[in-house]
Chain A
Amino acid sequence: MKLHEFQAKALFRNYGIPTPQGELAATVASSIEAANRVGYPCVLKSQVLRGGRGKAGLVKIVHSAEEARTASEFIFASDWKVRRVLVEPAVDHTRELYISFSPDAQSGAHLILASAEGGVEIEELARTAPEKIIRGRIDSARGIMPFEARALAYDLGLSPAAAKNLAPIVERLFKLYVEKDAELAEINPLFLTSQDGFVAADAKISIDDNALFRHPEFQQEDADFDSDIAREAAAEGIPYLQFDGDISLMCAGAGLTTAVYDLVVDFGGRVANYLEFGGPNYRKSVRAMELCVRNNPKVILIVTFGTIARADIMAEGIVEAIGRLHPTCPIVTCIRGTGEEKAHEILRGAGLTPLIDTEEAVRSAVALSKGGRP
C-alpha cells in the first residue's frame, strides 16, 4: 500500500526527520490561501499515487497568488483526478541527496541505497551513473548501527558537519521503515541546506500489504482505487485489476491468471479485468462473477487448475452465480484440478461446455469477444 506524500511526511515528522512546513488544500481557493500563508516562492504538489506527476506538470513552483491560482486551476482540472495539493515553502538548498531502504531478497538483509546526486529517479541514476550510487546491506536481525549510518554519510563525501547531521536521519528512516513494515522508504530529494542541515523535500513510503494486519493506522482511501469494482474486490480480499477491454478474466491462482492474461493479449483480445478467486477465495464464485458482470464484458473467461481450491466447489459456485445473476454474455470455462470430474459434470448439467485446454479456452473467448463463434 503506497502512502501519499503528505501521509509519508507526517510519518517523517513523527520520527524526527525534518520536512518543509506545508499545508494541505483540496480546492483552488484553499490552495491560494495556503500559498499566501506559507509565503512565496512556494511549491504546489499534487497528491497522487501514480509516478510521473512532475513530468505531467502537476508539481509547480509559484511566486505569487496569481501564479498559485493558475497552477492550482491547472492541477485540479487535469485528468489525474487530483483531490489534494500539498503547499510547501520552497527550501533553499545546496545539494540534493537520495536515500532509501528496501528489502534485499537474495541476502535477506535490508538494502540501503544512497547518492549525493539525488533529485532524479534512482533507476535513471542507475542507468546513467551507477558509480554514484552507494549500496549497503543492513543485517535484518541486528538492525542498523550508528557506525553504519556514519560511514554512509562520509562515503557520500559530505563535510564532517553535514555528515554528523545526516547520520541520525538515516537511522530514523530505518527505524520508520522497520517499525511500519515498509517495503520501500525513500527520500528523494533530501535537501542539504547551506547550514549543513537536511530537509526531506519528498517522501515515498510503501507499506507491505501482508503486514497491514499489524498497522490499523493505514487505511486505503476509496479514491485510491482504479474503480468502484476494484474497491469492492479489495474489501472482499479478492485480487483485482481494472482494465478497459471486453474479456473478463475470472481465474484461480495468481500465476495462472497472469499466464491467461498473456494469452489473451497474444491472441488479439482485450482484458476487461483481472480477477483471481483462487486460494482462500475459491468459494466466492458468486461474488467474483458479480464483479465481472458489472464490467459489462462480451465474455467471461474462467480458467482454473486448483489444488486446495476444489474444482467441483468452484463449478457449483459458478452455476449458482449464473442462476442468480443471469449474465447475458457467454461464459467459457476451463476448470481443472482437484475434483475436476465432478466439476465437469456440474458444468455440463448447467449447459456449459467444460474445456480442459487453456489455450483453446482463451482462443474461444477471444473469438466470442469479437462477435465470432467459439
Chain B
Amino acid sequence: MSILIDRTTRTIVMGATGSEGSFWTGHMVELGTQVVAAVTPGKEGERVGEIPVYHSVRRALDARGPADAAMLFVPPRFTKDAVFECLDAGIKLIVTVADGIPLHDALMIRAAARASGTTVIGGNTSGIISPGKAMLGMFPYWIERVYKPGRIGVMTRSGSLTNEVTAMVARAGFGVSTLVGVGGDPVPGMRFAEVLAALERDPETDAAVMIGELGGTMEEEAADMIRTGTFTKPLVAFIGGRNAPQGKRMGHAGAIVSGGKGSALDKMRSLNTAGALTADRASMVGALLSEALHATARTTGIPE
C-alpha cells in the first residue's frame, strides 16, 4: 500500500455536514476513499451522500465498526477537542485542515499524538493524497497536470505551492505515490522527518520532493536524516522565502526567521551539505529529480 492511506483505510469524517466538508467528503469518496461514517454533534440520523452521520466518534464506531483514520473539517477553535475525541477512540491517523489552530492547542495535540503513537497531520494543510487511490483532505486531483499517480513522495508546508511544484514534477514525466501536506503552522502534528521515515520504508516510492520554507527546523531535521543514513532515497527540495526580509512573518505563521536562524538559505545549505539537491525555482524541480534518479540508478544498477 501507499504510505498512511489506501483504498482499504476505513475513515470517519468530522464536520462532513458543512458546505466545504460535504463537498470534499464527496470528492474523497469519488477518488476511492472508504468513508464509513460522518460525525457532527446533533445531526445523528442524517446522511452526507450515502454516509450516515452520528453525534460522536464513539457512537459512530459502535455502529459502524473500527476506523483507521479520521478526517477533520472542523473550525480551528474546536480542533483540539475533535483531535482528542479521535485520540480517545484510538484512531491512529488524524488529518486536520483547520487554518488557525491556537499555538498552545497545537502543542498539546503534538505532545498527545507522540505519546500515543498517533499520526496527526496538519493543521493549515490540504491533507494527504495518494493519487488514484485515496485522499484525506482537499486536493483538486482532477487537474491531471498535477495529480498523476507515480513513484515520487511529496511533502509540503504549503497548499498553493504544492500545486505549483507538483505540476513541475508531472511535467518532467513523474507522478506522485503519496503527497503529505504537513501544513504551514509553526507546530505541525506530523513533521517532515516522520514523513521521510515512512517514504524510506515505502516500496512504491523512489524519491522524495520536499516543499519547505523559511522558519522552524523541519528542513534541518530532514537534512540530518540524510546525513545519518536514515533516509537514503534521493531528495529534491524547494524552499520558499530565500529573499524574505528577516523578522517579517511572510505568509504562514510558521514562516518567520528569528535570531538569524531558520532562513531559507541556511536550510538549503544544510540540505546540500547532507547530499540533497535544492531547486532555486519551482521549474527546476523536475530536472533535478531526473538527475537524482539517474545518479541513483547508476550507483545501484537498478534500471530506471
Contacts and interface: CB of A to CB of B under 8 A. Distances in A.
A261 interface: yes
Given A51-B247, A266-B280, A253 B107 contact: no
A340 B139 CA distance: 14
Given A213-B77, A255-B184, A358-B164, A141 B241 contact: no
Interface in A216-257: 239, 241, 251-257
A178 B102 CA distance: 11
Nearest to B211: A255
Contacts, number: 175
Contact of B160 (A107, A122, A256, A280): A256
Interface of A is mostly: mixed
Nearest to A103: B107
B110 A105 contact: yes
A241 B241 CA distance: 14
B108 A254 contact: no
A278 B138 CA distance: 14
Interface in B96-124: 99-105, 107-114
B171 to A, nearest CB: 10
Contact of A337 (B163, B211, B216): B163
B25 to A, nearest CB: 14
Contacts of A105: 107, 110, 186-188, 191, 216-217
B104 A261 contact: no
B18 interface: no
A337 B265 CA distance: 29
B111 A140 contact: yes
Contact of A210 (B76, B114, B242, B261): B76
Interface stretch (A57-65, A194-202, A305-313): A305-313
A274 interface: yes
B184 A254 contact: yes
A110 interface: yes
A141 B281 CA distance: 41
Interface in B175-211: 184, 186-188, 191, 211
A336 B282 CA distance: 15
B169 to A, nearest CB: 14
A123 interface: yes
A109 B102 contact: no
B248 A241 contact: yes
Contacts of B160: 251-257, 278, 304-307
A108 B111 contact: yes
B243 interface: yes
Contacts of A183: 103, 186
Given A253-B160, A274-B250, 7 more contacts: A103-B187, A107-B110, A252-B160, A254-B252, A259-B240, A266-B281, A359-B281
Interface of B: 20, 76-77, 99-105, 107-114, 126, 138-140, 143, 156-164, 167, 184, 186-188, 191, 211, 213-214, 216-217, 221, 240-244, 247-248, 250-253, 255, 258-261, 264, 280-283
